[in-house]
Structure 1
Amino acid sequence: MIGNERHSLVSVIGEDMLRHGKLPLLLLVAVVVSAVMVVTTTHKTRLLTAQREQLVLERDALDIEWRNLILEENALGDHSRVERIATEKLRMQHVDPSQENIVVKQ
């Protein structure tokens, strides 16, 4: 004769899983852990990809600025070269703006 004992469904399933289903329970835990790790890895990968894109944009901006500075340096270098040639070879001198209207006759 079967006793009139009442068991909750959750406790019966839990006991059955521990008694007869250790391998499926272990596989379930492994699948859940694996899924959490995949989600975490995907999130970190997306963050790193976004950070890499930001760094590439910054590098491009710095590269453009560097090119502009080189162009500016070359432009300024040309003026100093012209001034040096005018002073050394042509013996030109700077004119004082306050004495610009004075004409020197020789």
Structure 2
Amino acid sequence: MIGNERHGLVGIIGGDLLRHGKLPVILLVAVVISAILVVTTAHETRRLTAQREQLVLERDALDIEWRNLILEENALGDHSRVERIATEKMLMQHVDPSQENIVVQP
């Protein structure tokens, strides 16, 4: 005669796995951990790639700004060179527009 004992399915499966299936459980845990690490690594790689792309764009913008500053410096340098030549060789002087009396030398 069969006894009236009732065992839960989860309990039976868990007992069998602990008694006879330790290797498959260990392998299942290893596969799950490996899958989580793969997903985490892929996500981090995508994040770092996007960050690198942003830094490259910032570098390009700074490089363009640097070139513009060099051009501006050269343009201002030419102006100061012309001013220096005018004051040294041609003896020109700055005129203050606020002065009312302008003296003209013959």
Q: What range describes the TM-score normalised by the shorter chain of this pair? A: 0.7 to 0.9
In structure 2, what is the Cα distance between the partners aligned to 1:59 and 1:2?
80
Q: Provide Cα deviations, 1:64-105, integer angstroms capped at 9, x if missing partner.
A: 1111111000000000001101111122222344679x6836
TM-score scaled by length of structure 2:
0.86
CA RMSD of aligned residues (A): 2.0
Quote the sequence identity (%): 84
In structure 2, what is the Cα distance between the partners aligned to 1:63 and 1:74?
17
Superposition misfits of 4+ residues, deviation over 4 angstroms: none
Quote the residue 1:8 is aligned against.
8
Find the residue that maps to 2:7 and give its secondary structure.
Answer: coil
Structure 1 letter corresponding to 2:62: L
Quote the residue 2:37 is aligned against.
37
Quote the residue 2:50 is aligned against.
50
Quote the residue 2:69 is aligned against.
69
**Number of matched pairs:** 106
In structure 2, what is the Cα distance between the partners aligned to 1:11 and 1:87?
102
TM-score scaled by length of structure 1:
0.86
- Alpha carbons of structure 1 residues 75 and 35: separation in structure 2 relative to 1, 3 Å: same
In structure 1, what is the Cα distance between the partners aligned to 2:105 and 2:50?
73
